[in-house]
């Protein structure tokens, strides 16, 4: 019996409950013992524009998505047009038959450029420019249309006084799971899991579930095999944003500042929305166990990003674990204050969620184009750590680690992530708190004439803080006491001290926290990458292995200071080396050339803002191996 492996897209209007529909699907399959992974794609408006959720369900752990999809659920008139190339042989296309005669010109939410491209493809193939024409386009690709009157089913379930559009998301999810063969009780379980605190909502939506399943039973144009129920286990459904927030709290976060910006703000909203993160009185340190107590978190929405990082720096000066979260445009505004943290050796954490640029760019789409900016932001030269994460389990650990790094080395840390990670939904096992390690500084007992910037061999000075020690912090060059000076010898000594931390960091951070070599040691092909690409690359390796192709991944986490020795070691034996990134200029490859002297000549790149999928990466690797192309650009995604 073949393993279950189902990809589906649920598309509809922004604000139309697409997230809820996807949550129902993920939770229902989780209750039935399956694994799931999903990414949300959406426009930068509050309501109306096209939004979709791409979900994959498997029996084994899943960490990536693929095209073409097995099931396309169209909750509005735009979805059939936008996703008509995401289907192939036997893809089920579920759509509202009442909209069949809608012309593409009547879809007012659709971008003019997208309309132009879709119209060209329909006319080129001799298809009509209505939804019916788009369905015919998909039929020619082998898809199986599944027309449904959403209005009739909602009215039949709830009566004529309920607006059908309000229940389209639940109906679409229910029909989809019925078509996939998931027993109805698990879909109902997903409904309860999502809407459990709203009794009336649960009752209404369970009627919708029943209506959807009964409708599917009356149709015989699709062969449905009931999926076997597997043994379920306790798991969390977390987005990347939530994982970072949880990791920060476990790591001792006490102050989070932010100014709302996509996709970073969701992390702060998550922290704000949970009562158990609210501040309570208590000691920071459990002295018996030498670990932080969770004494709550203060979350502050600042008036802008400049204020946000200034508040965070001020908090860190008091010995408080503080962080600020932002995305590209906001991080640009933080550059000057980042230099202030650098010259004053303030252990502040900046969580940077990358999105499409430059300027406002693609506010809700993916990118990995801020890497070099994060390493170089701020004028002058100062030590900083830039650290990357790619999936939820490691991100929770890393959110703790970056606090440890900031305090241990007395430097600002930029935890660099990307939109795909932030807006992905992961199923993860409960946390193992026994493995969590929190490292706190030891404060100096000296309160007067305190040499906060004492010159030391490793660059790490005695740690002090406002409220305990008498310290001087300015934005100017300073003496060991912190007093302003322009003395050239002192300047030289301070620069050597601060920049010398980079070697200390490389020496003291464990190697497996800097770079990981994942896969076959004697590989036919080596991928170089970072961030959220990790999951999709490892998924493709499984397929390559079945074809006799051995592959490995050099997965870089510590971006600054760059682990040149380790990266050189792992790349030195590469037979075919390919760099895979979500940017135009291959910025990690630039770092490798700059720091290791190794020039990467093969690239798989994506910069249209959409998520990277198995089929794209697989095809890109094959094209490079077959010597058809050495710069493959991935373009899939609506």
255 and 354 in a single domain? The answer is yes
Segment 229-256 shows an average pLDDT of 92
d(CA 276, CA 272): 10
124 and 206 in a single domain? The answer is yes
d(CA 553, CA 521): 10
**226 in a structural domain:** no
Task: Render pLDDT for 338-371 as a digit per residue (tens, 0 to 9).
Answer: 999 999 999 999 999 999 999 999 999 999 999 9
Is the pLDDT reported for residue 283 higher than 60?
no
531 and 596 in a single domain? The answer is yes
Determine the pLDDT at residue 285. 45
d(CA 236, CA 107): 38
Give the predicted TM-score (pTM) of the model. 0.94
183 and 282 in a single domain? The answer is no
Is the pLDDT reported for residue 291 higher than 60?
no
Is the pLDDT reported for residue 572 higher than 90?
yes
- Using CB atoms within 10 Å of the CB of residue 3, give its burial: 0 to 12 exposed, 13 to 18 middle, 19+ buried: exposed
189 and 259 in a single domain? The answer is no
Task: Render pLDDT for 216-225 as a digit per residue (tens, 0 to 9).
Answer: 998 867 778 8
Task: Render pLDDT for 449-483 as a digit per residue (tens, 0 to 9).
Answer: 889 999 999 999 998 888 777 888 999 999 999 99
Where do the DSSP E strands lie in 441-600? 515-519, 525-529, 551-556, 558-560, 577-581
Phi/psi at 554 (5° precision) = -95, 105
74 and 192 in a single domain? The answer is yes
Determine the pLDDT at residue 319. 87
Is the pLDDT reported for residue 278 higher than 50?
no
Domain final position from 218, 252, 272: 218
- Using CB atoms within 10 Å of the CB of residue 152, give its burial: 0 to 12 exposed, 13 to 18 middle, 19+ buried: middle
426 and 446 in a single domain? The answer is no
Helix, strand or coil, per DSSP, at residue 179: helix
Residue 460's region, left for phi above 0, alpha for psi from -120 to 50, else beta, is beta
Determine the pLDDT at residue 289. 42
380 and 471 in a single domain? The answer is no
- Structure tokens given for 90: 């036997």
15-19, 146-150, 401-405, 531-535 — which is least confidently predicted?
A: 15-19
pLDDT tier, 275 (very low <50, low <70, confident <90, very high otherwise)? low
Structural domain total, the chain: 4
Between 184-195 and 199-218, two packed helices, what is the crossing angle to 10 degrees?
Answer: 160
The CATH number covering residue 558 comes to 3.40.50.920
Is the pLDDT reported for residue 393 higher than 70?
yes
High-pLDDT (> 70) share of the chain, %: 95
Segment 89-104 shows an average pLDDT of 95
Is the pLDDT reported for residue 550 higher than 60?
yes
Is the pLDDT reported for residue 85 higher than 90?
yes
Give the pairing type, strands 515-519 and 50-58.
unpaired
Determine the pLDDT at residue 2. 55
Is the pLDDT reported for residue 288 higher than 80?
no
pLDDT tier, 140 (very low <50, low <70, confident <90, very high otherwise)? very high
Range of the domain at 279: 238-430
d(CA 238, CA 393): 10
Q: What is the DSSP letter of 97?
A: G
């Amino acid at each position: 019996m073949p393993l279950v492996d189902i990809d589906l897209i649920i598309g509809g209007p922004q604000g139309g409950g697409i997230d809820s529909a996807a949550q129902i699907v993920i939770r229902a399959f989780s209750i039935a013992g399956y694994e799931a992974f999903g990414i949300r794609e959406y426009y930068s408006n509050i309501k109306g524009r096209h939004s979709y959720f791409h979900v994959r369900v498997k029996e084994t752990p899943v960490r990536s998505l693929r095209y073409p999809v097995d099931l396309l659920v169209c909750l509005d008139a735009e979805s059939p047009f936008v996703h008509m190339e995401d289907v192939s042989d036997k893809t089920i296309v579920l759509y509202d038959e009442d909209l069949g005669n809608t012309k593409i010109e009547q879809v007012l939410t659709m971008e003019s450029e997208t309309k132009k491209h879709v119209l060209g493809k329909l006319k080129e193939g001799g298809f009509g420019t209505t939804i019916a024409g788009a369905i015919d386009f998909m039929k020619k690709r082998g898809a199986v249309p599944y027309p449904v009157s959403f209005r009739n089913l909602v009215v039949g379930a709830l009566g004529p006084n309920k607006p059908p559009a309000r229940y389209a998301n639940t109906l679409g999810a229910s029909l989809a799971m019925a078509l996939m063969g998931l027993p109805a009780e698990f879909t109902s379980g997903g409904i309860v899991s999502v809407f459990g605190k709203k009794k009336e909502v649960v009752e209404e939506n369970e009627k919708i579930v029943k209506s959807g399943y009964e409708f599917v039973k009356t149709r015989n144009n699709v062969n449905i095999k009931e999926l076997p129920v597997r043994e379920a286990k306790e798991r969390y459904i977390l987005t990347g944003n939530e994982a970072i927030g949880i990791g920060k709290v476990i790591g001792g976060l006490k102050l989070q500042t932010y100014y709302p910006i996509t996709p970073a703000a969701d992390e702060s909203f998550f922290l704000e929305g949970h009562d158990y993160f609210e501040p309570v009185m208590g000691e920071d340190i459990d002295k018996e166990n030498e670990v932080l107590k969770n004494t709550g978190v203060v979350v502050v929405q600042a008036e802008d990003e400049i204020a946000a990082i200034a508040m965070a720096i001020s908090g860190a000066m008091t010995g408080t674990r503080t962080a600020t979260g932002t995305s590209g445009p906001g991080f640009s505004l933080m550059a000057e204050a980042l230099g202030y943290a650098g010259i004053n050796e303030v252990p502040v954490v900046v969580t940077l969620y990358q999105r499409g640029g430059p300027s406002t760019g693609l506010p809700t789409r993916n990118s990995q184009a801020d890497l070099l900016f994060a390493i170089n932001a701020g004028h002058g030269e100062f030590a900083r750590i830039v650290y990357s994460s790619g999936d939820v389990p490691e991100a929770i650990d890393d959110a703790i680690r970056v606090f440890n790094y900031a305090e241990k080395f007395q430097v600002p840390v930029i935890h660099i992530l990307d939109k795909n990670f932030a807006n992905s939904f992961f199923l993860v096992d409960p946390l193992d708190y026994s493995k969590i390690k929190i490292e706190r500084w030891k404060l100096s007992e000296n309160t007067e004439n305190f040499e906060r910037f004492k010159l030391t061999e490793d660059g790490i000075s005695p740690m002090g803080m406002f409220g305990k020690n008498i310290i001087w912090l300015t934005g100017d060059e300073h003496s060991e006491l912190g007093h302003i000076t322009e003395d050239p010898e002192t300047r030289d000594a301070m620069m050597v001290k601060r920049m010398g931390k980079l070697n200390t960091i490389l020496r003291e951070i464990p190697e497996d926290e800097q770079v990981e070599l994942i896969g076959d040691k004697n590989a036919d092909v080596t991928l170089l990458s970072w961030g959220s690409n990790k999951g999709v690359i490892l998924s493709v390796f499984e397929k390559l292995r079945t074809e006799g192709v051995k592959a490995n991944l050099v997965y870089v986490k510590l971006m600054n200071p760059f682990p040149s020795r380790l990266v050189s070691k792992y790349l030195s034996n590469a037979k075919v080396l390919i760099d895979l990134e979500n940017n135009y200029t291959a910025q990690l490859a630039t770092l490798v050339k700059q720091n290791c002297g190794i020039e990467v000549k093969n690239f798989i790149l994506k910069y249209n803002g959409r998520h990277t999928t198995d089929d794209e990466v697989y095809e890109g690797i094959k094209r490079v191996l077959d010597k058809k192309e050495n710069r493959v650009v991935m373009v899939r995604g609506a």
